[in-house]
C-alpha cells in the first residue's frame, strides 16, 4: 500500500491533484489506515499513471472518465476509445491551426515595425487597432 505522498512521488502527480481526481471520480476513494491516512494499491497507482498520461495528451476529465469506464469492459470493441482519441486529435489540430495564424500575425507585426520610438511603433498601433491585422486570428 502506498501513502498519498508515495503515490505522488511515484507518478509525478501532486497531492492536491490526486485529491481532485478522487473528487472527480477518476480514482476510487482511498482506503484509510487506522491513523486515517489514505492508502493506495498498485492498481490505483497504475490508474493514476493512466490519468496523468491522458491529461498530458490534453484529454478532458470527461474523456478520461469515459476511457476508464471502457477499460472496465475489455471484451468490447475499441471503436469508442478510438473515437475519443480521434476527437482529441481533431481538437489539437484546430489549436495548431489557430496557433499558426497567431504566429503569422505576430511575425508580421513584429517585422513591420521599423521605428525607434514607441509613438511610431507598429506593434502598439496594431494591437490598438484590429483593422491593421491581416485577418482573423482569434
Q: What is the pLDDT of residues 1-27, one digit of tens each?
A: 899 999 999 999 999 999 999 999 999
* Gap between the terminal Cα atoms of the chain: 48
**Architecture in CATH for domain 4-76:** Orthogonal Bundle (1.10)
**Cα–Cα distance list, 44 to 3, 5, 20, 57, 107 (Å):** 11, 14, 14, 20, 47
- Give pLDDT tens digits for 96-127: 999 999 999 999 888 887 778 888 888 888 88
Domain definitions of the chain by residue range? 4-76
d(CA 99, CA 31): 44
Put simply, whether the predicted model's pTM sits higher than 0.85 gets the answer: no
Amino acid at each position: 500500500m502506498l501513502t498519498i505522498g508515495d503515490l505522488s512521488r511515484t507518478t509525478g502527480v501532486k497531492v492536491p491533484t490526486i485529491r481532485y481526481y478522487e473528487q472527480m471520480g477518476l480514482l476510487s476513494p482511498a482506503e484509510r489506515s487506522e491513523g486515517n491516512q489514505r492508502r493506495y494499491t498498485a492498481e490505483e497507482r497504475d490508474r493514476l499513471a493512466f490519468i496523468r498520461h491522458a491529461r498530458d495528451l490534453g484529454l478532458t476529465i470527461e474523456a478520461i472518465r469515459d476511457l476508464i469506464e471502457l477499460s472496465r469492459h475489455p471484451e468490447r470493441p475499441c471503436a469508442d476509445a478510438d473515437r475519443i482519441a480521434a476527437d482529441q486529435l481533431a481538437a489539437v489540430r484546430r489549436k495548431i491551426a489557430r496557433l499558426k495564424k497567431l504566429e503569422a500575425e505576430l511575425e508580421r507585426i513584429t517585422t513591420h515595425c521599423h521605428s525607434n520610438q514607441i509613438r511610431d511603433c507598429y506593434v502598439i498601433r496594431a494591437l490598438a487597432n484590429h483593422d491593421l491585422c491581416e485577418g482573423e486570428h482569434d
